[in-house]
Amino acid sequence: MEQKGTCPIETGRLYLGRFTMNDVYAVYENWAKDPYVTRFLTWPAHINPDITRQILLEWIESYLKPDFYQWGITRKDDPGTPIGTISAVKIDEETETVSIGYCLGRDWWNQGIMSEALWGVIRFFFEEVHLNRVEACHDINNPASGKVMEKCHMTYEGTLRQGGRNNQGIVDLAVYSILREEYEALQNMKQEKRLEEQ
C-alpha cells in the first residue's frame, strides 16, 4: 500500500479533483441541500450553505493527510462545477481494503456518471495505491446504488441484516467488492481484445 492522498483522476467524461472554498454554493445547490439525494446517506441534508462551508473547510484541511481521499466530481464539458462526490470512507491497512461512498446531484442521475467515477477511483486504488480490495455497500432499499457497483464489476457478497444506520434508521446493507486479481484479469482481457482488433 502506498498512500497518495486525493490525487486528480480523469475519465472519459469526468474530472475528479479536490474541493476548494469556491465550491461551497455549487455543492450546496447541486446536492447537499436535497433531502431526496441524502435519504439513504449517513448525513442529513444541509439546511444552509454555512454547513456546507464548514464541511468543505474540514475536507480541505484534511487534504494534507496522505490517507484522506475525497473527490469532487465535475464534467469535462462543465469544468469547475462539482455535481457530486466520491470518497474513501474507511481504509483497513491490514487487509489493504478501502470502502467507497458516493453521492450525485439528482439532475445527473441515470447518465452513467457515478459508475464512471467509481471505476476511475477503483483504477486509482489498484494501480496507484496498490490496494488488494475495494468494497462498497448500499441500503437494500436503494438498488440503483447496487447497479452502479455491478457496472464496475463488483461482486455481491451478501447482506448485513440491520448492519448500518442512515437517514432511514437502522437498515440492511448489501455489500459488494472487487479484488486486485479480478481487476487485473479484466485489464488483461481488455488488452487482449485491443490486440485482436488491431
pLDDT of residue 198: 64
pLDDT at res. 191: 78
pTM here is 0.94
Mean of pLDDT values over 20-48: 97
Which of 38-47, 89-98, 188-197 has the least mean pLDDT?
A: 188-197
> Could you tell me the CA-to-CA distances from 20 to 70, 120, 146, 167, 197 in Å, in that order?
12, 21, 30, 27, 43
**In a domain? residue 88:** yes
Three-state DSSP class for residue 41? coil
| pLDDT confidence tier of residue 190, bands split at 50, 70 and 90 | confident
Please state whether beta strands 70-75 and 169-179 pair in parallel, antiparallel, or not at all (unpaired). Answer: unpaired
Q: What CATH number does residue 14 fall under?
A: 3.40.630.30
Asked whether the predicted pLDDT for residue 62 surpasses 80, the reply is yes
Q: What is the mean pLDDT of residues 32-54?
A: 97
pLDDT at 178 over 80: yes
Q: Are 146 and 176 in contact (CB under 8 A)?
A: yes
What's the whole-number average pLDDT of the chain?
A: 96
Instruction: Give the structural domain span for 28.
Output: 9-197
pLDDT of residue 189: 86
- Residue 48 domain-assigned? yes
Q: How confident is the model at residue 47 (pLDDT cuts 50, 70, 90)?
A: very high
Instruction: Identify whether 101 is part of a domain.
Output: yes
Q: Kindly give, in sequence order, each residue whose CB lies less than 8 Å from that of residue 141, ignoring residues fewer than 6 positions away.
A: 40, 168, 171
How far is the C-alpha of 103 from the C-alpha of 85, rounded, in Å? 6
Tally of domains within the chain: 1
Answer whether residue 177 is part of any domain.
yes
Percent of the chain with pLDDT over 90: 93
Domain membership flag for residue 37: yes
The verdict on residue 3 lying in a domain is no
**What's the pLDDT tens digit per position in 75-110?**
999 998 999 999 999 999 999 999 999 999 999 999
| Across 16-20, 77-81, 149-153, least confident range | 77-81
Residue 197 has pLDDT above 90, yes or no: no
